[in-house]
């Protein structure tokens, strides 16, 4: 009988501790794509804000669509990179639970938190899907962009957040939560308080 438990040496433990190469490559490729979209959105925001600032001081007619596209780009940047932030544990979080010494309590709280994020991501995906299909007739005021585009690009981030939070919950359930003191010891210049 094969060992598929989460015990060290089991298949689940091995899968999460050292994922197979095709899985790791796929996740890496998706992460690069999401970050590339985020970087493009950030660069677009930067350029559009500079254009807006220049328009104020130049004797030319301003382009009202620049502010609108900058705002849409901020929405896209926020939602598309959310999944990457969840999976790299870089999102904003209150980590007071890490001070608890009981590893089971830390594990349960992190799994429940990840499952909550996954549920919210699933609800946001469903709502964005609905809005994408029902709001196509609406257009943005300055650019005339179909509002369904706003939601279509955001769906990428919502799906990613849902999937990555679900995987993070499974990973924490199988491998547990790293001890904060062990993490501090591996990071240069970080001391435990």
- The DSSP annotation for 120-132 comes to HHHHHHHHHHHHH
| pLDDT value for 1 | 38
pTM: 0.80
Residues contacting residue 188 through CB under 8 Å, at least 6 positions apart = none
Which residues does residue 146 pair with via DSSP β-bridges, in sequence order?
Answer: 139
Residue 181 pLDDT > 60: yes
What does the pLDDT average to over 37-42? 95
| pLDDT value for 93 | 67
Which residues does residue 139 pair with via DSSP β-bridges, in sequence order?
Answer: 146
Distance CA 63, CA 49 (A): 11
Distance CA 127, CA 133 (A): 10
| pLDDT value for 192 | 45
Residue 67 pLDDT > 80: yes
Residues contacting residue 56 through CB under 8 Å, at least 6 positions apart = 62
Residue 104 pLDDT > 80: yes
């Amino acid at each position: 009988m094969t060992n598929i438990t989460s015990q060290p040496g089991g298949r689940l433990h091995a899968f999460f501790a050292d994922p197979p190469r095709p899985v790791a490559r796929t996740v890496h490729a998706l992460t690069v794509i999401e970050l590339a979209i985020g970087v493009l959105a950030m660069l677009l925001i930067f350029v559009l804000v500079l254009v807006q600032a220049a328009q104020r001081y130049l004797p030319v007619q301003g382009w009202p669509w620049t502010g609108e596209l900058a705002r849409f780009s901020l929405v896209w940047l926020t939602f598309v990179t959310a999944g990457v932030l969840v999976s790299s544990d870089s999102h904003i979080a209150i980590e007071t639970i890490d001070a608890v010494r009981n590893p089971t309590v830390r594990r349960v709280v992190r799994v429940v938190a990840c499952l909550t994020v996954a549920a919210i991501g699933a609800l946001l995906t469903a709502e964005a899907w609905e809005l994408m299909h029902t709001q196509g007739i609406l257009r943005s005021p300055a650019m005339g962009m179909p509002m369904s585009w706003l939601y279509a690009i955001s769906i990428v981030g919502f799906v990613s957040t849902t999937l990555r939070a679900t995987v993070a919950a499974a990973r924490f359930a199988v491998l547990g939560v790293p001890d904060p003191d062990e993490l501090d010891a591996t990071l240069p210049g970080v001391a435990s308080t």
